[in-house]
Amino acid sequence: DAGITQSPRYKITETGRQVTLMCHQTWSHSYMFWYRQDLGHGLRLIYYSAAADITDKGEVPDGYVVSRSKTENFPLTLESATRSQTSVYFCASSESERSEQFFGPGTRLTVL
Amino acid sequence: TQLLEQSPQFLSIQEGENLTVYCNSSSVFSSLQWYRQEPGEGPVLLVTVVTGGEVKKLKRLTFQFGDARKDSSLHITAAQPGDTGLYLCAGESGGGSNYKLTFGKGTLLTVNP
């Protein structure tokens, strides 16, 4: 399907486990972003990528790892999940740094 | 740290009423974006305002950017149940490695039939 997709949509895991959230876009957008959305905090940027093999930290990067070997994919890995990482995670993409960001449907992650 | 304060946090109104939500900051932004987010979905961009004092209209929605580019408002005329959702503002600042998009916490609007 065209657009931006995220998988899984829902995930329950346990403290200490590794979890990878997937993001795929079909527009060949250069920029991709990962945000988390929490009550009381709004949307906060975790990591972003300007192109394949180029990634940079956002506002709240600790505990997360990203990679971007292909333009269309931008996986987010929680190496050792903690309860504070329970959140809704959104991936987004845009043509350039200042152009419109298109958001995926989100992944609701619960860490027990 | 740049902060965007949105008010009110929650708003519940009847169909046909008018409403205004606000997005305020002590920081200057190069532009201000407004998004609407529906339950279970990601935010969708509604409009970007760039010039201080700018007013943009999108059907029944009117967006205004403050003269000093620190605040913005969204006015909805004759609200409809389809307007229900979380309204987020986001301010752009910096450029290159310093580029930043700062989001407010949102206003949750419920329009009752």
In this complex, is the C-beta atom of A104 within 8 Å of any C-beta atom belonging to chain B?
A: yes
Is residue A1 pLDDT above 70, yes or no?
Answer: no
- Identify which of B44, B88, B97 has the shortest CB distance to residue A43: B88
Radius of gyration of chain B (CA): 14
Q: What are phi and psi of B96, to 5 degrees?
A: 60, -130
Cα B6 vs. chain centroid, distance in angstroms? 8
The per-residue pLDDT for B1 is 65
Pick among A5, A9, A23, A37 to test the B interface (most B CBs inside 10 A): A37
What lies within 8 Å, CB to CB, of A73 at 6+ separation is A22, A23, A24
Q: ∠ CA B52-B55-B58 to the nearest 5 degrees?
A: 145
Q: How confident is the model at residue A25 (pLDDT cuts 50, 70, 90)?
A: very high
The whole-chain average pLDDT of chain A stands at: 95
The per-residue pLDDT for A84 is 96
Segment A42-64 mean pLDDT: 93
Q: How far apart are CA B91 and CA B102, in angstroms?
A: 5
Q: How far is B72 from chain A (nearest CA, A)?
A: 17
CB–CB contacts below 8 A, A to B: 37
Residue percentage of chain A with pLDDT more than 70 = 99
Whether the CB-CB separation of B47 and B32 falls below 8 Å is answered with no
Q: Give pLDDT tens digits for B26-54.
A: 999 999 999 999 999 999 999 999 999 99
The per-residue pLDDT for B94 is 84
Is residue A92 pLDDT above 90, yes or no?
Answer: yes
Q: How far is A15 from chain B (nearest CA, A)?
A: 25
Closest chain A residue by Cα to residue B105? A42
The per-residue pLDDT for A97 is 85
Q: Which amino acid is at B84?
A: T
**Pairwise CB contact (< 8 Å): A44 & B103:** yes
Using 70 as the pLDDT threshold, list the residues of chain B that sit under it.
1
The whole-chain average pLDDT of chain B stands at: 94
- Number of H helices and E strands in chain A, helices first, is 0, 11
**Pairwise CB contact (< 8 Å): B105 & A42:** yes
**Pairwise CB contact (< 8 Å): B99 & A40:** no
Q: Give pLDDT tens digits for A12-24.
A: 999 999 999 999 9
The per-residue pLDDT for A99 is 87
The per-residue pLDDT for B98 is 77
In this complex, is the C-beta atom of B39 within 8 Å of any C-beta atom belonging to chain A?
A: no
Three state DSSP letters for chain B: CCCCEEECCEEEEECCCCEEEEEECCCCCCEEEEEEECCCCCCEEEEEECCCCCEEEECCEEEEECCCCCEEEEEECCCCHHHCEEEEEEEEECCHHHCEEEECCCEEEEEEC
Q: How confident is the model at residue A81 (pLDDT cuts 50, 70, 90)?
A: very high
**Pairwise CB contact (< 8 Å): A97 & B88:** no
The per-residue pLDDT for A40 is 81
Contacts of B40 in chain A (CB under 8 A): 105-106
Q: How far is A48 from chain B (nearest CA, A)?
A: 11
